[in-house]
Copies of this chain bind each other. A is one copy, B any other.
Amino acid sequence: MDKTANTTNADPSTEEKIMDAARIVFTSKGYAATKVRDIAAQANINLALVNYYFRSKEKLFDLIMAETMKKLFDKIKPVIYNDATTLNEKISGIVDNYLELLLENPELPLFVVSEMRSGSDMLPKMTGNGKLFLESHFAKQLQQLQAEGKIKFHPINIMMNILGLVVFPFIGRPLLMKTGILKEEDFKKIIEERKKLIPLWIVSIINL
């Protein structure tokens, strides 16, 4: 078992082909709706190779999920842990970073949140990430905001609002699309618009 070195190569190894395919299929359809044969087809490889390289559908899924969560947390970690920036700067940073990431991977929010539903126990990794957030400089700044009486509500609301405003368009996109409320061409434009607006809105909410 050599797991041939993962240099950025012209043609990817079979293992990589499978990972790439799994990433696409799992994130777009979810675990239950994904068939191992879908992954094999997407990767253009023989069905048996999936189990040969990854043992089981579930093990492969766990890899993709872990990778995804890491991608999401790594993206804001530097922002929320930076104790040299103001709260407003952090908010802009979070919004910018996430909208950028989500424009490239629009399926991520729905994927994570759907799979979280049926108690797919990655609790250990998850609570770790939770602690990571709660101990951040950003979390402290939010608490201080409340301690100083500058906001009259639970600081978790700020976090909910940032996430809601950033993430909802991507979660609701299929719905807004199919109802005809939002047109394909407009989507990217609207998101770019929101990149500047959301930080303004959040600040305005804080200073209400």
Contact = CB atoms under 8 A, between A and B. Distances in A.
Number of copies: 2
Chain A contact patch, size range: 35 or more
Interface in A154-206: 154, 156-157, 159-161, 163-165, 167-169, 171-172, 174-176, 178-182, 186, 189-190, 193-194, 197, 200-201, 204-205
A64 interface: no
| Chain A contact residues: helix, strand, loop or mixed | helix
Given A134-B180, A134-B181, A174-B113, A164 B153 contact: no
A172 to B, nearest CB: 6
A14 interface: no
Given A30-B117, A33-B118, A113-B175, A161 B154 contact: no
B182 A112 contact: no
Residue among A114, A167, A200 with the most chain B CB within 10 A? A114
Contacts of A101: none
A30 B113 CA distance: 13
Contacts of A122: 178
Contact of A130 (B118, B133, B178): B178
A126 interface: yes
A125 to B, nearest CB: 10
A208 interface: yes
A190 B110 CA distance: 23
A32 interface: yes
Interface in A8-41: 28-33
A161 B201 contact: yes
